[in-house]
Amino acid sequence: MVHYAPSKPTLRQKLEILADAAKYDASCASSGTAKKNSLGGKGIGSTEGMGICHAYAPDGRCISLLKILLTNHCIFDCHYCINRKSSNVARARFTPQEVVDLTLNFYRRNYIEGLFLSSGIVKSANHTMEQLVEVARILREEHDFRGYIHLKTIPEADAEIIHQAGLYADRVSINVELPTDTGLTRLAPDKNARQIEGALARTKDRILTAKDERKRFRHAPRFAPAGQSTQMIVGADDANDAAIIGKASTLYSAFGLRRVYYSAFSPIPDASAVLPLKRPPLLREHRLYQSDWLMRFYGFAPQEVADAAEADGNLPLDIDPKLAWALKFRASFPVDVNRAPRELLLRVPGLGTRAVARILAVRRHRRLRLDDVARLTASVAKVRPFICTIDWRPTLLTDRADLRGLVAPKREQQLELF
Amino acid sequence: MTAMQNVSIGSHYAVHLPAPDDFAVWRERARGLVQCDVPPDRVSWIEPGGTGDLFASEGPARGEKRLPVPPVDAPPVRASKRFLELARHAALHSDPARFGLLYRVLWRLQRHPRLMEDKADPEVRRIEELAKAVRRDAHKMHAFVRFREVEEEGGTPHFVAWFEPDHHVVRSEAGFFMRRFANMRWSILTPRGSIHWDGEVMREGPPARRSDAPGGDPVEDLWRSYYAAIFNPARLKVGAMLSEMPKKYWKNLPEAELIPQLIAGAQAREARMVSSGSLERGEKPETLKGVGKAIHACRMCPIGELDNHAVMGEGPRDAPLMIVGEQPGDQEDQAGRPFVGPAGQLLGEYLTRAGIDRDAAYVTNAVKHFKFVWKGKRRLHQSPGAKEIDTCRWWLEAERDLVRPRIVLALGASAARGLLGKTVSISKVRGEPMMLEDGTELWVTAHPSYLLRLDGAARETQAALFAADLAAVRERLEDLAG
């Protein structure tokens, strides 16, 4: 039973291992940072506000950044994580220079918008964080790289090193990992919720201070101009949707986050015994993102979204949360598209922020008919039961007990092989 | 640039545009026509190579007539900012009717200055749709252009891409690539014209063919590896991928050739991942012989699928000591017996030295099948995963229930996990007995193969610890026997 020392892995093998290990991070956003380009510089790279998805994987997710770990060796033992210490996955480690070369080689060929670098924790949190910062430093200082950099920061590392990260990166993120403290204690024994929150709060302060300084001094250094984000794993513990929505809204308000990402727990190879074997339905993650949107763009209070949930505190899977809310609170409907204020129009299932803006613009000139609404929205059938126009009034619909059956989308089978 | 020709037949004007994406010329001509009060149904717009309409074929030779010259006191033409913004984009659409549409709306705008705010107007909607399609095409160009590196004689690398846009966006998007790759030499070739940047000057070239572009780039292999690895097979959403990366783009994306095989593999992979731990196994066999038979058929984890044989434990049915290793190795797999390879021989030596009779002990493994990868012709040992050990624990417990040893000795972390159900650190738990749930005493020590991997002082230290652990176990055995 002799263990053979494995031969030195090639760059490609390392890339396979360390990209595979990074795929459980949901974020790949490259938007919302300061505008910059490489004119007048020595290197390459630009960010012009809008993120660009350079490819899509068959899991439907956008590939915008080179998303890799510096190493998947880790001294922590978080049960839901494939890279935990006790997991038996293949391990590999990049040097900072290798990551820099990969990033530049991919960027030159227009495969990516930049780099999203994270890491397992080796030696110590500080050592690991220093290595991550070193990658960003070489890219920015030695190659004058002006593309997007997202650095995952390690809450256990010293504040000073995290500060360095924010000076080079467009975005920094710290994962809260699980929606509840008890879940964190049980599944991530090496992590501490207070420590994570402390790091989020410090980063928030730094971002605000840097923004303020830039208003007064044109050359004040930027600090994470694309802000900070975080990620929660859904379905690994027993937190229901109402609890997750509540947590997300606290995070948004307390730490000024740009985004909270939800990652449906995937059954990972070599999983720990305390985890469920089945994945939660992917649709659950989708419904959480929809409720996130309702809070951020549609003026829903967290409690209102939670009201749309069913008795077990979870959002219905067969209909979206906005429709669920409308069906529960039918007294608010129908909404008169020719008179209702913006806030009420935004509550109509099937009317998005753009459709509402268009309706408001048209309304200034003339009163709308159902045909007009049909031209402004994707599906008038979905909207019709909840609105009035000068030539339409859903007399019976909102009182019907079987309304849900009439408006809920027909269940579609997931696409099969092609 | 060809000279513009203006033709009027009767009161009908045909305007020839110098290029399909020349918004500036369209704007100038349209302004003049509106000032001369020429209604939209009396103007045709013709782009080069386009068939235009009936009047275009008449050519400038017959009845050539200049566009009317606007009177000096003609009122200025007005258009909202929103119109200008949309028209700039809509003019790049490949729909031949776009210039006519734009002129009709410009004409109407003179009477209804706020027309553009009427988002429900069919012509306004149409312009918005055209503009949206063009913006999307430009965005997809930013996303899906793939450069390939070509080494030129000068030594400076030249990056060349082949791209097929749906609309006339090549010239309008040159600036994006210039700002992004300011210090790189690059060319983008398309069937609608090409652009070249040398680090200082932008040049435009004629339409190109796919064969003008280079055929490959070694970095594409790395990119494909990345694409395959970042894909999560547990979540298949083909529809979401297709809506953002329609198949028409695939032929120019090096990574797209992997898509069919990734999808095909995904469903099978996830099914395997989930099933490897969730199946019920029914009743436990009631004899060691029964266990020995059943483990051969076990496919509860992927190790059982490999080209190997299950190896059953061996020793007296009422042995006071049970020794548990990790898993059979290459030699054990061939012999069908536990601990016959190099590590087994070493274990035998240490047991003898400690005064433990190996033949009186029941010897077995935490995992019953040999996990390996092929390396050339050799089968290279791979440690079993925690999940695999936990799955195989069912068999180990069946053996323990039947043998009922007083003491269990676990060799290495895998064996300890097979008995405890959790991972422990050997250095922390060795030297002291632990209690298993049924009261059996568990001792944990290193695996002898660990000693084989060490040399020098480290080996001596570890060998001493190993010998001391065995000596302690022998003492406990004597105590319990006495």
CATH, residue B371: 3.40.470.10
Name the more confident of B12 and A346: A346
Answer yes or no: is pLDDT of B43 > 80.
yes
Q: Same domain, yes or no, for B355 and B464?
A: yes
Q: Same domain, yes or no, for B193 and B321?
A: no
On whether residue B311 sits in a domain, the answer given is yes
Band of residue B10 on the pLDDT scale cut at 50, 70, 90 = low
User: Range of A388's domain?
Assistant: 321-407
Q: Same domain, yes or no, for B409 and B456?
A: yes
Q: Same domain, yes or no, for B262 and B312?
A: no
- Report yes or no: A40 at the B interface, CB cutoff 8 Å: yes
- This complex has an ipTM of 0.84
Strand-pairing partners, residue A93, are A71
- Report yes or no: B114 at the A interface, CB cutoff 8 Å: yes
Measure the CA–CA gap between B124 and B118, rounded to whole angstroms.
7
Out of A184, A212, A229, pick the residue that ends a domain.
A229
On whether residue A279 sits in a domain, the answer given is no
Smallest Cβ distance to B449: which of A2, A62, A273?
A: A2
Answer yes or no: is pLDDT of B433 > 50.
yes
On whether residue A396 sits in a domain, the answer given is yes
Q: Same domain, yes or no, for B248 and B308?
A: no
- pLDDT at site A174: 92
Cα of B287 to nearest chain A Cα, Å: 28
Name the more confident of A418 and B203: B203
Q: Same domain, yes or no, for A327 and A183?
A: no
On whether residue B73 sits in a domain, the answer given is yes
Out of A183, A200, A229, pick the residue that ends a domain.
A229
On whether residue B125 sits in a domain, the answer given is yes
Count chain A–chain B contacts defined by CB atoms under 8 A: 241
Q: Same domain, yes or no, for B424 and B293?
A: yes
State the angle between helix axes of B412-420 and B386-403 in degrees (0 to 180), rounded to the nearest 10.
70
The chain B residue lying nearest A66, using CA atoms, is B226
Band of residue B303 on the pLDDT scale cut at 50, 70, 90 = confident
A contacts of B200 (beta carbons < 8 Å): none
Q: Which of residues 227-246 of A touch B (CB under 8 A)?
A: none
Cβ separation of A273 and B182 shorter than 8 Å?
no
On whether residue B281 sits in a domain, the answer given is no
On whether residue A222 sits in a domain, the answer given is yes
Band of residue B278 on the pLDDT scale cut at 50, 70, 90 = very low
Answer yes or no: is pLDDT of B245 > 90.
yes
Cβ separation of A57 and B253 shorter than 8 Å?
no
Answer yes or no: is pLDDT of B318 > 80.
yes
The per-type count for chain A, helices as H runs and strands as E runs, is 15, 10
Q: Which of residues 263-292 of A touch B (CB under 8 A)?
A: 264, 266-273, 277-279, 282
B contacts of A105 (beta carbons < 8 Å): 219, 222
Residues A297-313: what's their mean pLDDT? 89
On whether residue B15 sits in a domain, the answer given is yes
On whether residue B313 sits in a domain, the answer given is yes
Q: Same domain, yes or no, for B391 and B443?
A: yes
Q: Return phi, psi of residue A222, to 5°.
A: -80, 150
On whether residue A67 sits in a domain, the answer given is yes
Out of B139, B174, B190, pick the residue that ends a domain.
B139
Tell me the CATH number at A39: 3.20.20
On whether residue A69 sits in a domain, the answer given is yes
3-state DSSP assignment of residue A363:
helix
On whether residue A239 sits in a domain, the answer given is no
pLDDT in tens, A270-299: 555 555 555 566 778 888 999 999 998 999
B contacts of A67 (beta carbons < 8 Å): 230
Closest CA to A91 of A76, A74, A67: A74
- Report yes or no: B341 at the A interface, CB cutoff 8 Å: yes
Amino acid sitting at position A255: F
Measure the CA–CA gap between A165 and B276, rounded to whole angstroms.
41
Out of B102, B121, B139, pick the residue that ends a domain.
B139
pLDDT in tens, B52-97: 444 444 444 333 357 888 888 888 899 999 999 999 999 999 999 9
Out of B93, B115, B139, pick the residue that ends a domain.
B139
- Report yes or no: B150 at the A interface, CB cutoff 8 Å: no
Smallest Cβ distance to B219: which of A87, A109, A417?
A: A109
Q: Same domain, yes or no, for B302 and B439?
A: yes
- pLDDT at site A191: 86
Residue linked to tokens 């501490």: A192
On whether residue B282 sits in a domain, the answer given is no
Cα of B56 to nearest chain A Cα, Å: 35
Cβ separation of A109 and B236 shorter than 8 Å?
no
Q: Same domain, yes or no, for B238 and B366?
A: no
Segments in B145-250 forming alpha helices (H): 174-180, 219-230, 238-244
Band of residue B390 on the pLDDT scale cut at 50, 70, 90 = confident
Cα of B11 to nearest chain A Cα, Å: 35
Smallest Cβ distance to B179: which of A39, A277, A278?
A: A39
Total number of domains constituting chain B: 4
Q: What angle do CA B135, A110, A143 make, to 5 degrees?
A: 125
Question: What is the pTM for the complete model shown?
Answer: 0.72
Measure the CA–CA gap between B259 and B389, rounded to whole angstroms.
34
User: Range of B98's domain?
Assistant: 4-139
Burial class (CB in 10 A: 0-12, 13-18, 19+), B267: middle
On whether residue B451 sits in a domain, the answer given is yes
Answer yes or no: is pLDDT of A158 > 80.
yes
Out of A210, A229, A248, pick the residue that ends a domain.
A229
Q: Same domain, yes or no, for B333 and B432?
A: yes
State the angle between helix axes of B288-296 and B386-403 in degrees (0 to 180), rounded to the nearest 10.
160
Q: Same domain, yes or no, for A197 and A331?
A: no
Cα of B213 to nearest chain A Cα, Å: 14
On whether residue A64 sits in a domain, the answer given is yes
Q: Which of residues 401-440 of B touch A (CB under 8 A)?
A: 421-423
Q: Return phi, psi of residue A319, to 5°.
A: -130, 160
- pLDDT at site B74: 85
Q: Same domain, yes or no, for B264 and B301?
A: no
The chain B residue lying nearest A10, using CA atoms, is B222
Total number of domains constituting chain A: 2
Check if the beta carbon of residue A372 is closer than 8 Å to that of residue A362. yes
Length in residues, chain B? 482
On whether residue A343 sits in a domain, the answer given is yes
The chain B residue lying nearest A47, using CA atoms, is B180
pLDDT in tens, B92-126: 999 999 999 999 999 999 999 889 888 888 999 99
The chain B residue lying nearest A278, using CA atoms, is B274
- pLDDT at site B282: 58
Cβ separation of A415 and B239 shorter than 8 Å?
yes
pLDDT in tens, A12-39: 999 999 998 888 777 778 888 889 999 9
Q: Max CA-CA distance within chain B? A: 126
- pLDDT at site B55: 47
DSSP string computed for B37-86? T--GGGEEEE-TT----TTGGGTTTSSB-PPPPPPTTPPPP---HHHHHH
Burial class (CB in 10 A: 0-12, 13-18, 19+), B289: exposed
pLDDT in tens, A72-121: 999 988 888 888 887 778 899 999 999 999 999 999 999 999 999 999 99
B contacts of A44 (beta carbons < 8 Å): 180-184
- Report yes or no: B240 at the A interface, CB cutoff 8 Å: yes
- Report yes or no: B249 at the A interface, CB cutoff 8 Å: no
Q: Same domain, yes or no, for B397 and B463?
A: yes
Q: Return phi, psi of residue B238, to 5°.
A: -65, -35
The H or E element that residue A344 is part of is helix A342-345
Q: Same domain, yes or no, for A326 and A215?
A: no
Cα of B243 to nearest chain A Cα, Å: 9
